Amino acid sequence: MGMKFVVPDVDKTFGKLYFGSCIEEVHASRNENSAIVKRRYSLFSERQNADNVEVEIPGSVPKKMIAYDEPVELVNPVIEASPRRIGDRFFTDYVMRADNIKVKEKK
């Protein structure tokens, strides 16, 4: 059995995180009823400067109305590896998920 997920040290991996936007809502439909399965948010990282950090939050958590560039923290983040094959080559996609995202309390 392989690894299921990695629990990142957010401070060492990303440093401070800042809110960007909600970039996608994934819906599931059943018998004309639709429910939000997950939301994907874009965050900015003080350490990962090349790309935004994307995190998936369960759809059961209300949509976040957080100001742009507001400091945030993730609740129980994990990073999952997902393999995919294109022809004879194999690739790994990494998906970060968390139970919630919230504004970081000011000290």
DSSP 33-60: EEEEEEEEEEEEESS--SS-EEEEEETT
pLDDT at 80 over 80: yes
Cβ atoms 43, 10 nearer than 8 A: no
For residue 84, count other CB atoms closer than 10 A to its CB: 9
pLDDT value for 2: 58
Written as six digits, the tokens of 26 are 């994934």
Rounded to two decimals, the pTM is 0.79
Cβ atoms 77, 97 nearer than 8 A: yes
pLDDT at 1 over 70: no
Strands 17-30 and 33-45: antiparallel
pLDDT value for 30: 72
The larger pLDDT score, comparing residue 92 to residue 31, is at 92
pLDDT value for 10: 80
- With a CB cutoff of 8 Å and minimum separation 6, the contacts of 90 are 83, 84
Q: pLDDT for 19-74, tens place per residue?
A: 999 988 888 877 777 888 999 999 999 988 778 889 999 999 999 889 999 999 99
Cβ atoms 53, 74 nearer than 8 A: no
